[in-house]
Structure 1
Amino acid sequence: MGKKKENKETSIDAVEYYNITMNILFSIISEPYYLFHFLSFFSYFSIRLTTSNLFSAQFTQNLLHRELQAVVAFLTLSVVKMVKEETWDGFIADMLLFAKIFLVGISLVVDFHLALWFMLTFLVIYLFTQQPSYMGLGASTQLTPLQLETLLTEGGTSRFWLVEFRSSFSSSCIRTSRILPELSITFSNKNISFGVVDLGLFPNTAERFGISLGVPDQLPTYILFENAEEISRFPEMHSSTKSSDITKKRLCRHFELDKHLLDYIGGK
């Protein structure tokens, strides 16, 4: 009996890992941001293999030593970031940044022109592509400004609304794009609902809620409404809080989401 249960759990883990692997491969193929980065990194190995016979044995040994150092440093940073980063989006962004730095550094050892080529390639990728944001909504709702205004003026089914104002063009918003959906899965109930407004699509809405699009650290902004009145926001206006300070734990504490959930369970 125990052996059968263990086999079943192993099978579930295998399916889960398979799904994760397929999702990663699909993202690499379907998203230009990931595809161009993958091709750029892969091109180094192609260049390395095709030009290896042009180098002396001493240079090849020195280059291999530098490559191993870069790999060890990259893996160490990966472990550190995996522990510190709360979202996969932020982790991937950091890892791509470190990988680009190490690749340019190794390319400098090979040839200055190769390093210059990679720097130009990464600049083009930065200018013409963007890391995709988390597409899941959890239990939150994608709102247009008109829908939000209707909720705030006419009221809705929920007493509280926690709304995230983000921009699809902001890297800090992309890094934190899965935080609200994941919170909504845990804390959404009949008393509190969660919504998202994309100020990248509706920039004129920002002024209505006292958000300055010219100040990077004001995005994303989270505002809690009670019966159509704003009662709290994070980060607060003129706050020194950075987007990197936004975590699920901090938002949960700031907006007292645990208390709202307990009030709902207690029938308050």
Structure 2
Amino acid sequence: MGKKGKNTNNGESDVDRTQYYDITMNILFAMVSEPYYLLHFLTFFSYFSIRFSTSQLFSPEFAAHLLRRELQALLAFVTLTAVKMVKEETWDGFVADMLLFAKIFLVGISLVVDYHLTLWFMLAFLVIYIFTQQPPYTGLGSSAQLTPLQLEALLTEGGTSKFWLVEFRSLFSSTCIRTSRVLPELSITFSNKNISFGVVDLGLFPNTAARFGVSLGIPDQLPTFILFENAEEISRFPEINSVAKASDITKKRLCRHFELDKHLLDYVSGK
């Protein structure tokens, strides 16, 4: 018995190590393969390269002053990271916030060194913003990637699901990218024969927006989540003319708004 328990603990430990290894490798792969992350990494790394290559040019007093400022910035960044790690619901939103904070602190520290260095970093971040964007979450969970024609067919011709919860998004929108994993993860938990989940990319089909009352203007209403029952819209989030921030779109908020727990219980109880 004791020997068997020991093997079980070793097996669990091996699984944990494998999971951590997979997460680490996925992060490293994303940093290398995604231009958005790679360019940010190179820009941040350039500060350390410049810092250590020019350190001999600083007077002892200035070097000490700069070190204090760097430690203060690092402490503030670690504190914000800890707060966001608790409050932020999605990995994509957490990464976006951390990169924003890192940019602010890096620009602030570079001002202490030399304003020319600040201009260099501001230009580098502007180029990154223009030519790259944060990659969206690519997993679909139990949700379906739909074209407008497919959605129309499902709503008008009926199907196996009484309810359809559809996210209208555009991957040109930073808000949609930050929240791109919310619906797929909800679909894994709540998808069943009574309710299905789908995604329509209005960046590919902008003419569809007016059909479902979604604004692509300024400010736009993306992402918009609409719950259909037998081809009729019964609820949406955010509401028309409502100003919702990315932080408002969470799994908990959508679950409560669309009563997903109730739909799941109705399915389990056979209603």
Please indicate, yes or no, whether the TM-score normalized by the shorter chain is above 0.5. yes
Aligned to 1:218, the other structure's residue is in SS state coil
Question: In structure 1, what is the equivalent of residue 114 of structure 2?
Answer: 111
TM-score scaled by length of structure 2: 0.97
AA aligned opposite 1:208: R
In 1: Cα distance, 2:169 partner to 2:243 partner: 18
Question: In structure 1, what is the equivalent of residue 80 of structure 2?
Answer: 77
CA contact (8 A) 1:159 1:227 kept: yes
Q: CA deviation at 1:215?
A: 3.9
Counting only pairs closer than 5 Å after superposition, residues 72-151 of structure 1 correspond to structure 2 as: 72-151=75-154
Aligned to 1:101, the other structure's residue is in SS state helix
The alignment-based identity, stated in percent, is 79
In 2: Cα distance, 1:7 partner to 1:217 partner: 52
State the number of aligned residues.
Answer: 268
Aligned to 1:151, the other structure's residue is in SS state helix
In 2: Cα distance, 1:199 partner to 1:240 partner: 19
> RMSD of aligned C-alpha atoms?
1.0
Question: In structure 2, what is the equivalent of residue 223 of structure 1?
Answer: 226
- Of 134, 158, 163, 1:160 maps to 163
Q: CA deviation at 1:72?
A: 0.6
**1:262 and 2:271 equivalent?**
no
Question: In structure 1, what is the equivalent of residue 192 of structure 2?
Answer: 189
Unaligned segments of structure 2, at least 5 residues: none
Q: CA deviation at 1:10?
A: 1.3
**Structure 1 moving runs of 4+ over 6 Å:** none
Aligned to 2:206, the other structure's residue is in SS state coil
- Of 5, 18, 25, 2:8 maps to 5
AA aligned opposite 2:10: N
TM-score scaled by length of structure 1: 0.98
In 1: Cα distance, 2:91 partner to 2:133 partner: 16
Deviations 1:147-194 (A, max 9, x none): 111111111221110000001010111111000000000000011000
In 1: Cα distance, 2:162 partner to 2:246 partner: 28
Aligned to 1:204, the other structure's residue is in SS state helix
Q: CA deviation at 1:25?
A: 0.6
AA aligned opposite 2:31: I
**1:29 and 2:32 equivalent?**
yes
In 1: Cα distance, 2:53 partner to 2:185 partner: 46
